[in-house]
A and B are shown apart, each in its own frame.
Chain A
Amino acid sequence: MMERIELARLVRETTPSKYHNLVTRPMGAAVRTRVQERISASPHPTTHLDFASIDLLDFSCADEVVAKLLLGDPGDRPRFVVLVNVTESHRDAIEQVLETHGLTVAAISAPERRPCMLGWRTPDLVAVFDVVLELGAGDATRVADSLGWTVERAADALQSLALRRLVQAASGTYRPLPLS
């Protein structure tokens, strides 16, 4: 189970316009505040931030809505965010702002169902992220066996993914974020 937040609806509630554009910092800050309120009130640890029907996302708004959301204090329990229905144009803006901050987020593009990582990443993180998605919940040994790596290398990458809230970690087991 997860929380699903439609950004287009928040944009409509924030600014009366026939376009669903996420542009300018003040608008981004207003939308982010509403997203944070919804996440705080949700019983689910994972939130899907839905970019469907968002016509335009500029860099300033991507910084306010996505980067600052990830930088925010998660509070008393772990919170996970997945961006869904992300188009190539959204992706350009999000990638740039996340790379600037050294942040990473899981995202699902509009035509696909398979998530990918946006923002700062290394080949090791990408490889392990993909393996966790493919194999499901497991430990470092399982990931290491699958990739032909040492357990230490797999464990380092898993720990980094967990710190970036790209996988859920509990008692040495790592599981992918809920996707549907």
Chain B
Amino acid sequence: MHVVPVPPVFDDRGVDAFAQGFGEWPPAERVLLDARGTTWASPAGLTALLTAGQALIELGSSKARLAVPEADETRSYWARAGFFHHAVEYFDLIGKIPKRGIDPPGDLLVPVTAIRAAEDVMAVVGTVQEGATRILTTELELEAKATLGFAMALSEACQNIVEHAGTGGWVAAQTYHWKRRLGRKVVVIAVSDAGVGFRRSLESSEAKRVGERWADGAALESALLHGVSRFRDPGRGQGLAGIKRYLLRWRGKISIRSGTARLSVLPEWDDDVPLAEHLPYFPGSQLQIIIPAQEGQAR
């Protein structure tokens, strides 16, 4: 049994440490994901966990074991966010699992949701219109226009799974108050899939053109910075361009991790590197969008 530690604080940056824990991919032995010491996970962390479990099953590996967090509060939160509802399908769970809570957390915009087809995307967008609009407009004081843009960004990010991954994926969104990092509230959307990744998706059309530089990072650049799509239709590839344009206007951040690279389009408030390469391999693609409350509001 190969033990993979789940970081105590499991956010998008924690995915690198989590991926490192697998060593080679796919792992030679059955894995145990050890989340006993995990006290906090963001949408990026929860969707990455499910992606790991899904990828292992789709590779024909043994179902992974997942030791759930020991902290009652963390376990309860994961249950209310919908994580365990999906996790039972991909993991043999070790530890006490709370029943799914009656009330989802108040700051949860989109619970952990499976995206397998266009109908799932429509349902997620509908969920946002039902509940999240109130949070976005009252707590983040985003204008109605920005709220519609949020739904558009969510729709396009989820469609990326349906159109490119070749398998299903996951989405979750949540609001946070980033007191120290930004001094404002933010919305975080995470979308993760266990699919082929950007490099393989674009290989047939882009690898030859890019030449020796062709790798995960170059594939992300082609897709996110140059709007390249694997489809010949010139109308394709506009989803990410649209998200980028929306985030530019509202000073948001987008980052995509695929394979061994992560590319980010950064606002001035973030100190991340634009391109990180030679990261530990993680299957599929992980996209994260952060939209801050507008300055002077929702502090």
Contacts and interface: CB of A to CB of B under 8 A. Distances in A.
A128 interface: no
A68 B233 CA distance: 10
When A and B form their complex, which 5 residue pairs have the shortest distance between CB atoms, in order from nearest? A59-B242, A63-B235, A24-B118, A58-B155, A89-B148
A24 to B, nearest CB: 4
Contact residues of B: prevailing secondary structure: helix
A131 interface: no
B294 interface: no
B156 A59 contact: yes
A19 B126 contact: yes
B291 interface: no
A101 to B, nearest CB: 6
B122 A93 contact: no
Given A21-B126, A23-B122, A96-B245, A67 B235 contact: yes
Interface of B: 118, 121-122, 125-126, 129, 145, 148-149, 151-152, 155-156, 159, 162-163, 227, 234-236, 238-239, 241-242, 245-246
Given A55-B129, A67-B235, A26 B118 contact: yes
Interface of A: 15, 17-19, 21, 23-27, 55-60, 63-64, 67-68, 88-89, 92-93, 96-97, 100-101
Contacts of A97: 235, 238
B93 to A, nearest CB: 33
A56 B125 contact: yes
Contacts of B236: 63
Contacts of A25: 118, 159, 163
